[in-house]
Structure 1
Amino acid sequence: MEFTNAAMVVILEPTQRIAGIEVASLGDLLAMKLATVTKRKALRDYDDIRAIEQTGGRRVEEGLALAARRYKIPDDAGLLAIVRALNEVGRCSPDPLVPTSHSDLIGYWSHRLPEITASLSRWAVPELPDEIAAAVLNDNVDIDRSHEGETPSVGNGKRKPRRL
C-alpha cells in the first residue's frame, strides 16, 4: 500500500507553531506514523505511536480513520496493512536511543493489537488477515519476535467464524 503520494495527502488538523516552527498536529502525526510503520520497521516509530496513545490521548483506532482520510485510502486493505505492520514490532532492531525498551514495546503492542483488531471487527471491516483474526478470536497474541530469535507467530493460524 502506497501512502507517499504528496498530491493526495490531506492535512487533517491545523498545524501549531512551536519555537517558530510549524509542526503537524497530533492527529496528523499519528496518521503519518501509522503509514510509516508499513514502510520501515524502526523501533522509534512504534514508540512514537505508543507515546501518542499514552500521553497524547489519541488512539490507533482513531489514527486508522485519520490515516484513511489523510492518505485517501480507498479500501480496507490499506488499513489492514497498517494493523499488520503494528504486529511487526518484534522485527525491529533494539535501539538505545529509543526511551522504551524493545521488550516493553513488544509487550505494549501485544496488549493493544487485540483491542485494535476487535474494534475493526465491530466496525465490520471485512476479512481481517488470518493471523490477526486468529489472534483476536483466540485471545492468543504473540507478537512476531523473529528479531529476538524466536519463531514468528500470531495465534494458531486457524480461522474461526468472525462475530460482528
Structure 2
Amino acid sequence: MIKDVQQQISKGLGQIRQAFMGIVSRAGTASVQLKGYEDEVLEDIEVIQQVGFSSHIPVDVKVVLIPQQGKTSKAVIVATKGGKIVIDVDEGETCIYDQFGHSVWLKEDGTHVEGDLFVNGKIQAKKDISSEGDVMDKKSTMQAMRDTYNSHNNGPSTSTPSARM
C-alpha cells in the first residue's frame, strides 16, 4: 500500500517541471526565445525584473527559469548569467553595467561611473569638483576664458594682467 502511494506521488511529481536553465536564442526585455534541454525551443518566455531595473537580455546568455505551477508553458526568467562583459565585484560592492562597457560601480571609496554621463536636471555638489579634461558651457571652455583674460589689456598703455588665471 505505501509503495503504491509512493509510486503515485513520484509519478505526480514527475509531471511537475522543476526550475531549469536555458540559453537565449532571441533577445528581449519583456520576453525571449530560449533553447532548453535537448534542443527544446521555448517561445515568448516572460522576463521578470525588479521594479526600477530593466535590461535587454542578449543572445547566448544563460537564464534560470521557474515554471509556474510546474508548467513549462508558464515559465518565467528570474536570473541571467554569462554576457559578453561580466564585472566581478568584491565583498560589499554593487555594480550595474551593460554589454557596451558602461558601469555604475558602488565601491568602498565611492561611486565610479565608466562611460559618458548625461544628466537631465541639476547637479549639486557639497564639495569640490575637479576635472582632468575641459570644463565647458554653451559658449566656450574655462581654459579659453583663461587664455582670453591672460592675454588681454585695457589699451595701448597697459600691460596684460600681472595675476594670471
Fold conserved (TM > 0.5)?
Answer: no
Question: Which gives a bigger RCO, structure 1 or 2 (Cα 8 Å, sep 6+)?
Answer: 1
Bigger helix fraction: 1
Largest Rg, 1 or 2: 2
Please give the TM-score of this superposition, normalised by the length of structure 1: 0.21
